[in-house]
Amino acid sequence: MAAYRAEDDYDYLFKVVLIGDSGVGKSNLLSRFTRNEFSLESKSTIGVEFATRSIQVDDKVVKAQIWDTAGQERYRTITSAYYRGAVGALLVYDVTRHVTFENVERWLKELRDHTDANIVIMLVGNKADLRHLRSSFHG
């Protein structure tokens, strides 16, 4: 059994960014992963927020620092600093809103323009529990 470790006691720190259109559920992914909370009344993020969660992997403590950014165009200038140092990205779209999937290519380009070529990227189709509201992918 692992002994108690202080919040700032970790072996590895990894920065991961959440990107995607406004309203796709990035903030709820962050709050579910870091605090096991979910809000139906989630509001649009203004600027940038981040939260952390430490995970035990074998005998090491890995601290994930997850950054959430506003998906709105007016906050685009924030993002170059936001991406700095990220080793991973979750590119999130809403399965019920096809336009958010169409915008994945633009988000991927922005990510590639501002990050290291070795960044690990995961595409996340969010809100699968609402798939009955899914918009047609065939136009």
CATH of the domain at 45: 3.40.50.300
| 2 domain residue, yes or no | no
| 5 domain residue, yes or no | no
E strand or H helix that includes residue 56: strand 48-57
| 72 domain residue, yes or no | yes
Query: What's the predicted TM-score (pTM) here?
Result: 0.77
- Number of compact structural domains in the chain: 1
Domain that holds residue 112: 12-133
Strands laid side by side in the 12-19 sheet: 48-57, 60-69, 12-19, 88-94, 120-126
Give the tens place of pLDDT for each residue, 52-85: 889 899 999 999 999 987 665 555 666 677 888 9
| 93 domain residue, yes or no | yes
Q: Under a CB-based contact definition with an 8 Å cutoff, are residues 17 and 83 in contact?
A: yes
Closest CA to 63 of 82, 50, 72: 50
